[in-house]
Chain A
Amino acid sequence: MKKIINNSNDVVKEMLQGMEKASPQIRYIKEHDVIVRTKKADKVAILSGGGSGHEPAHGGYVGYGMLDAAVAGNVFASPGADAVVKGIEAVDAGKGVLLIIKNYSGDIMNFQMAKELAEMDGAQVEYVVVKDDVAVPDSTYSAGRRGIAGTVFVHKLAGAKAEAGGTLAEVKAVAQKAIDNVRSMGTSMASCVLPGVGKAGFTLGEDEIEIGMGIHNEPGLERTTMKRADELAKILLDRVLEDYDYSGSEVAVMVNGLGGTPLMELYILYNEVEKILSRQGITVYRSLVGNFMTSLEMPGCSLSLLKLDSEMKELLDAPCSTLGWTQFHV
């Protein structure tokens, strides 16, 4: 294992310390592995979190215009309910707290337990669950669809709504609207290596890729041979477009790197994605190309499409300032 670490047991804490030092805007509560804004904002608070290893998610989205707190678990494991409660307490300004949860069994159980505990102490807490990964069938009896890179759009829109003075119900409604309108699909070209494990979770052949791979080494839909960028763009986009009707609409596109794919390749992919979209009469309103929701050093990418209305466009264009996403008024 070749990793720039000191000790595999310390990776989460040392990373969060580094994040704190890299940004004057955030503070690290080290007892609970929570990142919060340096100055508590007088508005509806938004908290997200989950396993580590997806940076900049989620600590990198704490700051003006996005999150108020991010709670970090161990690598690929949900944070404990008690840490989430501490996060809620740290950011609650009396106007309510919205939890943005990615749909994984562990996250759901811990965040729901945290909501129950915080409510016992009088906090007003609501949550939304992001499930954008079309590689997984949705259903109510099972774990259902995973939450992946589309979550970053939910952070952005809900964050902008809260910053604009939205009530808890309004912020939750915007978050839910983003969730209802976003779909993602990913592919991976190799396993990532968990620092605590030290070796790859699976192996793919020299010329093999996995379509629909998750962001935790969990398998996808099928294994196939390596494709050209134009073919890959079509494979990923077809799945997304089959799942939700984007025809004639304006969209925000995210081409997200999983940690081990060069930006050069992400831009090549985006170039192909844009061509297909414009041929199909889907207008790209905004695009984001980069590493937004990673899976350690995994080579691969995901593609997310968010269907926009006028309110969502305005929220998307609002300024934000975080380690992972900074923009001025567009």
Chain B
Amino acid sequence: MTFHMDSKNYMEYIKLVSKKITESKDYITEIDAATGDGDHWVNMNMGFTAIANSSAELENLKLSDMFKKIGKNFISVVGGSSGVLYGSAYLEAAKLTAGASHLTPETLCGVLEAMTNAIMQRGNAKPGDKTMIDSIYPAVQTFRLGLEEGTDLTMLLPAVKQSAIDGAESTKNMVAVKGRAYYQADRSISHIDPGAVTMSYQIGILMDYALEHLTPA
């Protein structure tokens, strides 16, 4: 089995994320208020809504141009930390997909790896810092390892999703050193990081989408 994800598919995925984020207002705001300043949901929702609303334009672009537009949208519409981090991630994805018409399991994994590196570099952060990296990093590791070992995608994609969810969950036991959660480092223990949660939603939905669009190789 394999999948081919083009710009139209990717924008369908973005719309699903936008819906999920919009529905999660109370939960995300609540966990953000516990450690941050309570605006993570507002900013993510604004960003994904804006990008989803421009899907008619974006879905007709080349993959690389679509990623570039999404990145620029994050930087300009979302602002804050999330905006520049997701923006940097999508601009990196754009570089990696120059000339490509669609994503395969191999290239999607490469895109997620490049995004992870861009986020770590821009944020000067690493796994264990209680950030979104703690969700995407283990998910990408699972993805890469599974591809190398030739794991069946019907097994691998749900495993990647689970790694993202477990990774987000693991931030509960971490002490924040970056972002506003740092200001109450000790009090941040036992609270899950909202940025890791919204990241796990995205990876989860991406893996579900890929799973539903598997075709014989």
Contacts and interface: CB of A to CB of B under 8 A. Distances in A.
Interface centre among A73, A74, A106 (most CB of B within 10 A): A106
A146 B178 CA distance: 12
A142 B39 contact: no
Interface in B27-83: 29, 33, 36-39, 41-43, 46, 72, 74-83
B187 interface: yes
B79 A110 contact: yes
Nearest to B81: A106
Contacts of B36: 218
Contacts of A78: 79-81, 83-84
A146 B39 contact: no
Contacts, number: 123
Contacts of B38: 194, 197, 201, 217
B75 A80 contact: yes
A113 B180 contact: no
A135 B183 CA distance: 9
Q: Is the interface of B mostly helix, strand, loop or mixed?
A: helix
B84 A197 contact: no
B80 A196 contact: no
Given A82-B72, A82-B76, A217 B33 contact: yes
Contacts of A214: 37, 180, 183
A16 to B, nearest CB: 14
A90 interface: no
B123 interface: yes
B184 A77 contact: no
A106 B84 contact: yes
Nearest to B131: A105
A148 to B, nearest CB: 12
B33 A9 contact: no
A267 interface: no
A104 B78 contact: no
Nearest to B43: A77
B83 A80 contact: yes
B182 interface: yes
Given A77-B43, A110-B84, A143-B177, A136 B75 contact: no
A210 to B, nearest CB: 11
A86 B83 CA distance: 17
Contacts of B83: 77-78, 80, 106, 110
B29 A79 contact: no
Contacts of A190: none
A106 B79 contact: yes
A186 B18 CA distance: 37
Contacts of B138: none
Given A79-B79, A82-B76, A83-B76, A109 B84 contact: yes
Chain A interface size band reads: 35 or more
Interface in A192-221: 194, 196-197, 201-202, 214, 216-220
Nearest to A212: B183
A51 B83 CA distance: 13
A84 B33 CA distance: 28
B129 to A, nearest CB: 9
Interface string B1-39: 000000000000000000000000000010001001111
A306 interface: no
A74 B46 contact: yes
Nearest to A109: B84
Given A74-B42, A194-B42, A81 B84 contact: yes
B99 interface: no
A141 interface: yes
B113 to A, nearest CB: 21
Contacts of B210: none
B122 interface: yes
Contact of A105 (B43, B72, B123, B185): B123
Interface string A133-144: 001100001110
A82 B42 CA distance: 20
Contact of A51 (B41, B80, B178, B182): B80
A130 interface: no
A224 B163 CA distance: 41
A78 B39 CA distance: 11
Contacts of A82: 72, 75-76
A194 B41 CA distance: 12
29 contacts: A9-B46, A32-B76, A51-B79, A73-B79, A74-B78, A77-B79, A77-B80, A78-B81, A80-B74, A80-B78, A80-B79, A105-B123, A110-B80, A113-B88, A142-B178, A142-B182, A143-B179, A146-B183, A194-B39, A194-B42, A196-B42, A197-B38, A201-B38, A202-B33, A216-B39, A217-B37, A218-B37, A218-B180, A219-B187
Interface of B: 29, 33, 36-39, 41-43, 46, 72, 74-85, 87-88, 122-123, 177-180, 182-185, 187
Given A80-B79, A197-B42, 13 more contacts: A9-B46, A74-B80, A80-B78, A80-B87, A105-B179, A106-B83, A113-B84, A143-B179, A196-B39, A201-B37, A218-B184, A219-B184, A219-B187
